[in-house]
Structure 1
Amino acid sequence: MIDKLEMFIAVATEAHFGRAAELLGISQPTLSSGIKQLEDQLGVQLIVRGSRYGGLTAEGEVALQRARQIVGDARMLRDEMRFSRNEISGELRLAVIPTALNCAADLAARFSDLHPHVHATVLSRNSTEILRMIDNLEVDAGLSYLDNEPLGRATTAPLYRESYALLCSPEGAFAQRQAVSWSDLDGAPLALLTGDMQNRRIMNRNLADVGARPVIALESNSLIVLAATSARHGCMTILPDDVARVLAAGNGLAVVPIEGGRPGHTVGLVVRRSEPHTPMIRALLTEARRMTRVPEVA
């Protein structure tokens, strides 16, 4: 039945039979047949059907919560059995906000070095998608902001606190400055992350606090696009300091720290709250806590 429950979760998550089938790597007729078999086993209709997906029935809404719990428990049992052979193995799936991808790569590499039988997959997503994917068991963990917007029921481990910098061409107006303030950016042409990103909402608040109204020349959910745009004379972007320095390396871009504004927000590992966690998640939390650059509060 576990495979049928996973089919049901996929359809409910994607709200589309075709996309769910593609996600699971099966044909749509196989998916439809699996859902029908599950409904027959449970004795209730789970999905409203018509010419297309019509949502969940009342029974389907209740079943979805139980299905997530059952599938999560089954995966935990599988991981416990693998761990009983004195190794952590399997796939580690991480969803990560774009500005934390550099840290995610470091965490995944360290984890793979410690556990060579683990294969890691890192996906770039916004913070809302990350929480949804964790809740729907699409990923095992996420890297996101911990203290800016509500996380719901989650276990977290802080990794670092952001500070911000301006990334611009060496000919840019601020390129030779030791630092700039948020108010200096009033009227400046900026390329920024799209509005669905928490980082963009943080940028907007810092700028609004000082009454700065930059000219938004471009928006993108890709850091590569923002950096490439900043290489052009006359446009700049704002990024966390460590990300800005990585993107500037070898590209001849200037990195200028931004001083003042609100304290930087904390980014960390987010996993589904569960007691106990699987051996893989326990090991991942341990490694994240070992990597943390956030000082302990006395």
Structure 2
Amino acid sequence: MLDKLEMFIAVAREGHFGRAATSLGITQPSLSNGIKQLEEQLGVQLIFRGSRYGGLTPEGQTALVWARRIVGDSRQLKEEMRFKRHGLSGRLRIAVIPTALTWAARLAATFCEKNPNVRLTILSRTSIEILSMLDNLDIDAGISYLDNEPMGRVSTEPLYEERYLLVCGAESPFAARDAVGWDELQGERLCLLTPDMQNRRIINRNFADANVTPETWVEANSTVVLMAMVAEGGWMTVLPEDSARFLASGKAVRTIPLQGDAVPHVVGLVAPWREPHTPVLEALLRAARQLSTVD
């Protein structure tokens, strides 16, 4: 039944039989037959379908919760047995908000130093995508904001508090300043992350608290693009401190602390709530605790 539950989870995740089949590396008829057999075994219809996928039935919604739990438990059992036989090994999949990628590298280096037989996959994703991927068992952990928007039932380890810097060119009137207020950015030409990024929503609130309507001329879902825009001249951006200093290294730009009443937000490691965690995931949580700068 496990393979059929995997099929069911894939269909619910993709909302499309063809894409679900592709993600699993099987044919669409095989997928459809697997879902039909699962429905026969459970004695209920799980999916509304006619000529195309029509969503989950009420029974399907309930079954999805159980499917994720059963598949997750099965994977955890395999991890436990592999640990008993080979020690810490395997692969960890981690999705990270773009502004925390430098911290993800730091965490990966600390983790891999002590666990050389574990391979890591690190993906850049939005906070909403990270929670969805955790629910669908597409990743083992994420790095995201812990205190800004609802997260559901998860295990967390704080890593750092996010504080912001203005990044501007060396010719900017702000370049020689020791600090800049949020309210001073009214009317400036800004390039910022896209609105689907939680960091952008936080920055927008900070501007609103300072009674500033930002003039956003360029939006991008990559901090690298934002830094490149500033380096090309005539633009400014706002980035978290760690990310800004890393990206600014070697470029003719200035990074200046932003002052005001902005509340720092905690960023940390997020994992599915499960007791106990797999040995590999527990080792990752320990590495996060070791690196944490949050009191």
TM bucket normalised to smaller: over 0.9
| Alignment match, 2:162 | 162
Q: Is 2:236 the counterpart of 1:269?
A: no
Instruction: Indicate if the aligned counterparts of 1:182 and 1:261 stay in contact, CA closer than 8 A.
Output: no
Gaps of 5+ in 1: none
Query: For structure 1, which segment, 23-32 or 162-171, has the greater mean C-alpha deviation from structure 2 after superposition?
Result: 23-32
User: How far off its partner does 1:36 sit?
Assistant: 2.1
- Percent identity of paired positions between Structure 1 and Structure 2: 60
Instruction: Indicate if the aligned counterparts of 1:182 and 1:210 stay in contact, CA closer than 8 A.
Output: yes
Give the whole-Å Cα distance in 2 for the aligned partners of 1:236 and 1:18: 43
| Alignment match, 2:103 | 103
TM-score by length of structure 1 reads 0.95
Q: Is 2:88 the counterpart of 1:55?
A: no
What is the identity, as a one-letter code, of the residue corresponding to 1:68?
R
User: How far off its partner does 1:224 sit?
Assistant: 1.3
Give the whole-Å Cα distance in 1 for the aligned partners of 2:29 and 2:111: 39
| Alignment match, 1:175 | 175
| Alignment match, 1:64 | 64
What SS class does the counterpart of residue 158 from structure 1 fall into? strand
After the TM superposition, which residues 111-260 of structure 1 pair with which residues of structure 2 at under 5 Å, given as runs? 111-260=111-260
What is the identity, as a one-letter code, of the residue corresponding to 2:137?
L
Give the whole-Å Cα distance in 2 for the aligned partners of 1:51 and 1:58: 20
User: How far off its partner does 1:233 sit?
Assistant: 2.2
What is the identity, as a one-letter code, of the residue corresponding to 1:201?
R
User: How far off its partner does 1:139 sit?
Assistant: 0.8
User: How far off its partner does 1:222 sit?
Assistant: 0.9
Tell me which stretches of 4 or more aligned residues in structure 1 moved more than 4 Å.
none
Check 1:34–1:109 CA distance in 2 against 1; reply closer, same or farther (3 A cut): farther
**Cα RMSD (Å):** 1.4
User: How far off its partner does 1:237 sit?
Assistant: 0.7
What SS class does the counterpart of residue 85 from structure 1 fall into? helix
Give the whole-Å Cα distance in 1 for the aligned partners of 2:29 and 2:102: 40
Instruction: Indicate if the aligned counterparts of 1:190 and 1:218 stay in contact, CA closer than 8 A.
Output: yes
Check 1:174–1:25 CA distance in 2 against 1; reply closer, same or farther (3 A cut): farther
What SS class does the counterpart of residue 29 from structure 2 fall into? helix
What do the CA deviations read for 1:252-280 (whole angstroms, capped 9, x no partner)?
A: 22111112232211100011111111111
User: How far off its partner does 1:86 sit?
Assistant: 4.9
Give the whole-Å Cα distance in 1 for the aligned partners of 2:175 and 2:17: 51
User: How far off its partner does 1:121 sit?
Assistant: 1.0
| Alignment match, 1:287 | 287
What SS class does the counterpart of residue 84 from structure 1 fall into? helix
Give the whole-Å Cα distance in 1 for the aligned partners of 2:155 and 2:269: 8
Give the whole-Å Cα distance in 1 for the aligned partners of 2:206 and 2:199: 11
Give the whole-Å Cα distance in 1 for the aligned partners of 2:74 and 2:9: 14
What is the identity, as a one-letter code, of the residue corresponding to 1:182?
W
What SS class does the counterpart of residue 219 from structure 1 fall into? strand
After the TM superposition, which residues 12-23 of structure 1 pair with which residues of structure 2 at under 5 Å, given as runs? 12-23=12-23
TM-score by length of structure 2 reads 0.96
Instruction: Indicate if the aligned counterparts of 1:87 and 1:115 stay in contact, CA closer than 8 A.
Output: no
Count matched residues: 295
What is the identity, as a one-letter code, of the residue corresponding to 1:58?
P
